[in-house]
Chains A and B, each alone.
Chain A
Amino acid sequence: MSNKVTDEKTYLFDKPRNVSRLLLGFYIICVGLFVADFVVHRHLVHPWEGFPGFYAIYGFVACVVLVVIAKEMRKVLMRKEDYYDVKEKDHDLDE
């Protein structure tokens, strides 16, 4: 199904410069959003929200925790791709 790779054209993200530009823009937005907490007047529903940068910190920490736990889960849960397809022998029960 694959077409022959005749086009050796360079694409948008083939140039490392484009990637770093994108990331730079992204970092600037992040900083801007964090600072906005101190500038913008927010009407709060919940006291926790009042903590400056609550959402930013929570989002960051949540994702790191998510990934760290998920990685640990892999140690327990991960099996080979054909795990369910292999015909069972009688002795591999405690696998």
Chain B
Amino acid sequence: MIWTSSLPPFIPFFIAALLVLVTRGTLRNIILLLTPVLGGLHLWLDVQPFVPMVATDALVSAKELSYQLTIFSYQLEFMRVDKLSLLFGYLFHIASFIAIIYALHVRDTTQQVASLLYAGSALGAVFAGDLISLFIFWEGLALSSVFLIWASRTERAIKTGTRYLVFQVMSGVLLLAGALIHFQQTGSTEFNFIGIESTAGWLILIAFGIKAAFPFLHSWLTDGYPDSTPTGTVFLSAFTTKVAVYALARGFPGTDLLVYIGAAMTCFPIFYAVIENDLRRVLAYSMINQVGFMVCGIGIGTALALNGAVAHAFNDVIFKGLLFMSMGAVLYRVGHINGSDLGGLYKSMPKTAMLCIVGAASISAFPLFSGFVSKSMVMSAMLQEGHNYLWLMLLFASAGVFHHAGIKIPYFAFFHHDSGIRVKEAPTNMLIAMTISAFLCVFIGSQPQYLYALLPWKVEYWPYDMTHVLAQLQILFFSALAFVWLNKQGLYPPELRSVNIDFEWVYRKLLPATGRVSFKAFQSLNGATTEAVQRSWQGFQSVFQASRLSQYHLASSWPTGSMVLWIGVILGGYLLADAYF
């Protein structure tokens, strides 16, 4: 079938979203499950990258011209296929398949339609060949994903979702502005290397940076994701930030600034993660940390680093999805997800606990688990490029990841002291989804050659050598030793019911407070001015009343009618005077 050979992958998802609207029950579930399977098979079997990518810093992109559309004077290109877009294409099909299985018990049309549109938009964005179609799917991501937060249907979630949407739309507006300026300057909207030499480049970088959760632009993530539904967060964790990583890898590879931004992203969230009580928010912070490694890799810009960045994105979607799924299962069964109120759940949810530990081992980059084979590429590239101190930061962050995501998450949820909570094991569909993810974590971790074969840039790399494995095991085991020691000494901060102030404080507290203060100040200023004017008027009146002028008839009151009359008299007087003299 020649006509399908380059069918843009978002189309099946959008059609499925429509079908889900009009179907119900088993048929709806079949449609949900088949969409990523058929779409993924189509992508795997029928679509080939047009030109193999070469090992350079700049991307060589291939174009297929069959799916183009012209809006106003802009050419929209929906199907640009190269190894970079294909890698993310495969990834998003796998991720949506797993997340759909995980959410199969959900009977909520809003969530099901939104999640298909969301996955479709992510696919649309990674195959978009120009900035305008990228913008369309960029906004599609924002508008569809917010329903996964609103779907919690609490007052809190509605507010959170709205704040989330403001950030996302802002990102879209910046992208559009940047794209239009870029078009004016270069005469092309093609989405290739952009760089930060122009205003357009900066606007687009900030747009990407919002979705990639750069420091100070990150609070939509830690604010929004924990308020989504148990299943919604799994979708959310897969797409938005990874589309941003893809976009950065295409538009800004080798941009030095990104190395520093990335290093900051790996470090600051881990402090928050240690003291955060909501375990899904802990994962949200650790997500920023993981994206930091990817941003570093993109900033370094060598073939090894870029491969590491996108490979880590691939693995992160799966292991972070697994962790969010295990916490979602706990939330679904227990009803809350605060570390302070959980503990001992391995007794009633042993399978979920085991699967969570696999995810934890993967994110901590234990040898034989998936995080190891990709994170180590970024770390090696960092050293090769001579970023010694940043490498130390990343090493610190690696130890920190193990500490909060690798130990804290499973420990406080499933072990720790027994909270006395006894629930059922997670539903079967959730267990199946988590098992698939866990299998992929171990498979990619132990057989990385299959993932490496998909990577866009040609480079020889093999993570398993004695030195490297030993170093990684040492850093992990001694991080764990620190955890054990701190716990035994009673130095480890207990889980407390609390929130911690982060950047969102600026717009949730500071700005409203500033607003209130200025409003009050304005009110009192207004009051004072009014009073002053009234007083002086009263003063004038009292002086005037006392004077002789007030004796005249006109001064007693100044109705408009008498004014008009007197104007008429004066004008008439002029007229007469004019006529006679």
Query: Looking at the complex, which one of A3, A4, A48 makes contact with B424 (CB distance below 8 Å)?
Result: A3
0 or 1 for each of B367-393: is its CB under 8 Å from A? (1 = yes): 000000000000010011000100100
Q: Is the CB of B275 within 8 A of A70?
A: yes
Q: Does B466 contact A (CB under 8 A)?
A: yes
Complex interface: chain A residues within 8 A of B498 (CB): 78-81
Whether A77 touches B501, Cβ cut-off 8 Å, given contacts A1-B423, A26-B484, is: yes
User: Chain B residues in contact with chain A, CB under 8 A?
Assistant: 156, 270-272, 274-275, 333-335, 346-348, 380, 383-384, 388, 391, 395-396, 399-400, 403, 415, 418, 420-424, 465-467, 470-486, 491-493, 496-502, 508-509, 512-513, 516-517, 520
Task: Give the CA-CA distance A76 to B505 in the complex, in Å.
Answer: 13
Task: Give the CA-CA distance A45 to B465 in the complex, in Å.
Answer: 13
Q: Is the CB of A80 within 8 A of B486?
A: no
Task: Give the CA-CA distance A67 to B501 in the complex, in Å.
Answer: 17
Minimum CB–CB distance from A93 to chain B (whole Å) comes to: 5
Query: Looking at the complex, which one of B156, B383, B467, B478 makes contact with A59 (CB distance below 8 Å)?
Result: B478
Identify the closest chain B residue to A71 (Cβ).
B493
Complex interface: chain B residues within 8 A of A66 (CB): 270-271, 274, 396, 399-400, 403
Identify the closest chain B residue to A11 (Cβ).
B347
User: Chain A residues in contact with chain B, CB under 8 A?
Assistant: 1-5, 11-14, 23, 26-27, 29-30, 33-34, 36-37, 40, 42-46, 48-49, 53, 55-64, 66-71, 73-74, 76-81, 83-85, 88, 90, 93
Q: Is the CB of B478 within 8 A of A57?
A: yes
Whether A69 touches B271, Cβ cut-off 8 Å, given contacts A59-B479, A79-B501, is: yes
Task: Give the CA-CA distance A69 to B465 in the complex, in Å.
Answer: 34
Q: DSSP class of A's interface residues: helix, strand, loop or mixed?
A: helix
Query: Looking at the complex, which one of B395, B482, B499, B517 makes contact with A80 (CB distance below 8 Å)?
Result: B499
Q: Is the CB of B423 within 8 A of A2?
A: yes
Would you give 8 A-B contacts (Cβ < 8 Å), ordered by A? A14-B418, A27-B481, A33-B473, A42-B467, A43-B465, A66-B270, A78-B275, A88-B513
Complex interface: chain B residues within 8 A of A34 (CB): 474
Task: Give the CA-CA distance A43 to B383 in the complex, in Å.
Answer: 14
Q: Is the CB of A60 within 8 A of B380?
A: no
Complex interface: chain B residues within 8 A of A59 (CB): 399, 474-479, 482
Complex interface: chain A residues within 8 A of B400 (CB): 62-63, 66
